[in-house]
Amino acid sequence: MVINTRRLPVWGETLIGSGFSEGPGGKGSNQAVAAARLGGDVCFVGCIGEDRCGDDAVRMLENENVDITYLKRTDEAKTGVGFIFLNGHGENSIIIDPGANLKLMPNDPSIPLSIDKADIVLVQLENSIQTIEETVRIANEKGKTVILNPAPAQEISSLLRYVTILTPNESELKILAGLEPSKSVSHEECIEIAKGLLQKGPEAIVVTLGDQGALIVNANGHEFVSSPKVTPKDTTGAGDSFNGALAVALSEKKTIKEAAQWACYVGAYTVMGAEVIPSLPTRKQLEAFIDSKETTLQA
């Protein structure tokens, strides 16, 4: 649920916003659709409520050719929701209520069954941390590539030994390092923080840097990949589209640098549209976008 506002209200204050819209979302759902539209064979595991929002989610995922064999429904909680506050620069602040997401239990049989079918397991933090830890543990045990998008950011030290690639944005990276997200850090400091996280288990840290691209840190050192310049309309879902694209690219045997570069193009394409799902590119749309940007650079 999105509303435009010049600024966030302080406690006790009411502001008038504009442009309210409502549509399907959720980090895992967004990532699943992003990957499916780019040609990925995607199975989505989660839990939603027996309510209108849950019905909408089922309909949307089926329309996007996402396998929902292991999508559970419950009458014990409502489908998770997110409240998105969007300013005139396309920047957002988000508050979520996970709702039924937290009803996906660590011992749910859908978790190992779905992992068996996968090459890459992509997880985020809108489910319970216990369920996520069990998921990445099983995936690691089965030799799968595990991508963890640590959002919403929280304590995840116990998970990192099972993770192949960690994909925080700059704010999440700071939170993982115990810093205030508002604290300004240089790219050099980001590199040092990422190196520290590498010591806890991941093979690579890919830090998304918005319009500045992404930073890759692994045992070979570090390198930056750039993002094409666009005029953002709504940055909601940029990270989700990046992660979905990264998973697809890695499944197609691209290198980590190639995958991150490709994912930057997907993120840039996504922020040019309003709302997340309508803005996610198909493979054909993405290829045309990349061609147009490369032609501009050559000119």
Nearest to 198 by CA among 168, 225, 224, 239: 168
Which residues make up each annotated binding site for ATP?
169, 208-213, 239-240
pLDDT band for 299, please (50, 70, 90 cuts).
Answer: very low
> What does the buried/exposed string (b/e) look like for 93-113 if buried means 16 or more CB atoms within 10 Å of the residue's CB?
eeebebbbbbbbbbebebbee
Sign (positive/negative) of CA torsion 114, 28, 23, 213?
A: negative
For residue 168, name the pLDDT band (cuts at 50, 70, 90). Answer: very high
* pLDDT for res 187: 92
Helix or strand holding residue 188 (H, E) = helix 187-198
Q: Is 240 a catalytic residue?
A: yes
Binding residues for K(+): 234, 236, 270, 273, 279
pTM metric for this prediction: 0.92
- Report pLDDT digits (tens) over 189-232: 999 999 999 999 999 999 999 999 999 999 999 999 999 999 99
Residue ranges of the binding site for substrate: 26-30, 126, 240
Residue with more model confidence, 118 or 275? 118
Q: How much is the average pLDDT of 36-43?
A: 98
CATH number of the domain within which 175 lies: 3.40.1190.20
Per DSSP, helices labelled H in 20-107 are 27-37, 52-63
- Mean per-residue pLDDT for 165-194? 93
**Is pLDDT larger for residue 121 or for residue 297?**
121
AA identity, residue 296: T
pLDDT digits (tens, 9 = 90+) for 223-274: 999 999 999 998 889 999 999 999 999 999 999 999 999 999 999 999 999 8
pLDDT at 163 over 70: yes
- What domain range is 158 assigned to? 2-298
DSSP for 227-289 reads ------S--TTHHHHHHHHHHHHHHTT--HHHHHHHHHHHHHHHHTSSSSGGGPPPHHHHHHH
Q: Which residue in 55, 75, 108, 240 is the catalytic one? A: 240
pLDDT band at 294 (very low <50, low <70, confident <90, very high): confident
Residue 102 pLDDT > 50, yes or no?
yes
Q: At what angle do helices 283-298 and 256-271 cross, to 10 degrees?
A: 100
Predicted local confidence at residue 298, as pLDDT: 52
User: Number of folded domains in the chain?
Assistant: 1
**What is the 8-class DSSP label of residue 181?**
T
